[in-house]
Amino acid sequence: MITILSIILFILLLIVGKDRGFKTFGIFYLNLFLILVYLYVISLGFSAITHAVVICILVTLTTLFGLNGFNTKTKSSFKSIMIILIIILSLVLFIGKNANIQGFSAESLEAIGGYSFDLNYDMTKVLIGMYLITVIGTIIDTSISISSALNEVYINNPDLDQKELYRSGMTIGKDILATTINTLFFALVAEFIGFFMWHYGSNFLYILNYKSFTVEITKLLLCFIASILIIPITSYIASKDIIKNKDII
């Protein structure tokens, strides 16, 4: 079934996206390969956080420059995402140290009961790595959308100064933000239908402090924060780079 769906995806990408659709398909599987490499590396006992940062950088590079080329808009987007990566890394290190939400929840015990619990890596670090990768995957699209839109705005209005271009970026970002927030929220709701059925009738405070629920809510809030911060950061950096370089592509 996975093979059939992959073939359908590939055909649709070719029909709709032509050569860009082909590149999108290739980049998708390249990023999937990078994630698998990351899982293999941390299974050997290497630092999950350090390698998560490396994977985030590689995924950003392949997605931005592989699909959109090496130009002002992609360079601006890359710089913006790296700033967010530093901010979110600081946040998740604090969370990992103080939240105590690593490991598996009660409903997972039956599924993992036959596996060895003699693990050679820190699950807190794995959780932090997961947060970083999820956040980066969330903001790449927003960042390049704003940067690309500002390029188009400047092409059609070359007399705009940086301040006016920045305001345009913020306006574009506000439109994207509403959709992004709702998409992330409904993705969480869909994922947690089974969880709510499992704990139907439980006290709200009990659910709020439940490990798996807290992990997902924390991830969602981090994605929200990153999705908001990426808008002014990309708008500022992209507007500054566009006015400075004037090599719009």
Mean pLDDT value across residues 24-31? 83
Lowest-pLDDT choice from 17-21, 110-114, 235-239: 110-114
On whether residue 143 sits in a domain, the answer given is yes
* 195 pLDDT tier (thresholds 50, 70, 90): low
What is the per-residue pLDDT for 99?
65
The closest of 233, 51, 68 to 139, measured between CA atoms, is 233
| 131 domain-assigned | yes
Task: Read off the DSSP letter of residue 106.
Answer: G
Q: Which strand (E) or helix (H) includes residue 115?
A: none
The answer to the question of residue 195 being in a domain is yes
- DSSP state for residue 117 in the 8-state scheme: -
| 50 belongs to a structural domain | no
First to last CA, the chain: 40
- What is the number of structural domains in the chain? 1
Give me the amino acid identity at 33: F
pLDDT at 204 over 70: no
pLDDT tier at 106 (50, 70, 90 boundaries)? low
- Classify the C-alpha dihedral 2-7-8-10 as positive or negative: positive
Task: Tell me the pLDDT tens digit for each residue of 109-149.
Answer: 554 445 555 556 667 788 888 889 888 988 998 899 899 88
Range of the domain at 173: 71-245
Looking at per-residue confidence, does 110 or 221 come out higher?
221
DSSP H or E run through 18:
helix 2-43
Confidence bin at 44 (pLDDT 50/70/90): confident
**Is residue 126 in some structural domain?**
yes
**Residue 40: inside a domain, yes or no?**
no
pLDDT digits (tens, 9 = 90+) for 61-90: 998 888 888 888 899 999 999 999 999 999
Q: Does residue 171 belong to any structural domain of this protein?
A: yes
Answer yes or no: are the C-beta atoms of 238 and 153 closer than 8 Å: no
Q: Is residue 2 part of a domain?
A: no
* For residue 57, pLDDT beyond 90: yes
Q: Render pLDDT for 168-186 as a digit per residue (tens, 0 to 9).
A: 989 988 888 888 888 887 7
State the pLDDT at residue 129: 86
Other CB atoms within a 10 A radius of the CB of residue 134 amount to 17
In which band, very low, low, confident or very high, does the pLDDT at 236 lie, cut at 50, 70 and 90? Answer: very high
The pTM score is 0.82
Tell me what pLDDT residue 247 has: 53
